[in-house]
Amino acid sequence: MAQYNLKINGQTYKADVEPDTPLLWVLRDSLGLVGTKYGCGIAQCGACTVHVNDSATRSCVMPVSAVGDSKVTTIEGLSEKGDHPVQQAWNEVDVPQCGYCQAGQIMTAAALLKRNAKPSDKQIENAMNGNLCRCGTYHRIREAVKVASTKTN
């Protein structure tokens, strides 16, 4: 076991875990930030997507020992009031079916819009292709990313 001071959502969290523990499980089990989901454990589905220094990152394959001083943002910290433009768009377009993958989808979309405020359809598809939605809400995800890109932060 080792002590880690993690910078998450603008706060410092302490975690006493083994160094190989994936960030995903530190968030979920140690810190109670369960908005980040487990889907595959091998970076294939995107349900566990968080931002590490503003980049969309699969937390299921990132050992906590590799996080260091990086700034981590989870779905809980994407906005204070749950009104990030991407979150607003997700509600307006009524994207979720079961909803399980949507936190990861939203984090991927938010990272995309941060580096490319007006992505084309192709750019949206390329960015979102790593996030699986078993319910098949892809049409509305694509639409919601576009709606979000029209909102100012």
Partner 1 sequence: MSNLTNTNRRDFMKLAATAGGGVLLGFHWRNADAKPAVLDAAAEAAAPSIEFNSYLAVAPDGKITIFSPNPEVGQGIKTAFPIVVAEELDVDWQQVHVAQAPLDTVKFQRQVAGGSGSIPHSWKRLRQAGATARQLFINTAAQRWGVAPEQCTTESGAVLLKGSKKKLTYGELAEEAAKMPTPTDVPLKDPKDFKLIGSSIRNVDNQDIITGKPLFGLDFTREGMLYAVVERPKAFGMKLKSVDSAAAKAVPGIVDVVTFDNSVAVVGKSTWQVMKARKALKIDYEKEAALESTSDHDRIFDELLNSDKNEVRRKEGDVDKAFKSAAKVVKSEYQCPFLSHAPMEPMNFFAHVRPDGAELIGPTQTPERAQGEAAKFLGIPKEKITVDMTRMGGGFGRRLAADFVMEAVKISALTKAPIKLIWSREDDMTGGDYRPAVKYRFEAALDDKGNMIGYKLRGAGINAGNPTRENNFPAGAVDNLLIDSAEHKSAITTGPWRAPITNFLAAAEQSFLDEVAQAAGKDPIQFRLELLEKAKTAPAGDVRYDVDRMIAVTKLAAEKSNWGKDKTKNQGFSLYYSHLSYVAQVGEVEMKAGKPELTKIIAAVDCGIVINQSGARQQVMGGVVDGFGHAMYGSLSFTDGVPDQSNFNKYRIIRMQEIPEVEVHFVDNGIDPTGLGEPALPPTGGAVANAFFKATGKRLYKQPFIEGLSGKVES
Query: Do the Cβ atoms of 53 and 95 come closer than 8 Å?
Result: no
Q: Is 44 in the site for partner 1 (CB under 8 A)?
A: yes
From 51-59, 65-73, 97-105, 111-119, span contacting partner 1 (CB under 8 A): 97-105
Cα–chain center distance at 94: 18
**3-42: contacts with partner 1 (CB under 8 A):** 17-18, 20-22, 25, 28-30, 32-42
* DSSP tag of 99: -
- Alpha-carbon distance of 109 to 43, in angstroms, equals 17
- Determine contact, residues 59/27, Cβ cutoff 8 Å: yes
Q: How far is the CB of 126 from partner 1 (least distance, A)?
A: 8
Answer for which of 6, 47, 112, 148 binds partner 1 (CB under 8 A) is 47
What is the spatial distance between Cα 106 and Cα 128, in angstroms, rounded to a whole number? 10
Interface residues with partner 1 (CB under 8 A) are 1, 17-18, 20-22, 25, 28-30, 32-42, 44-45, 47, 74-76, 78, 82, 87, 90-91, 94, 96-103, 106, 125-126, 128-142
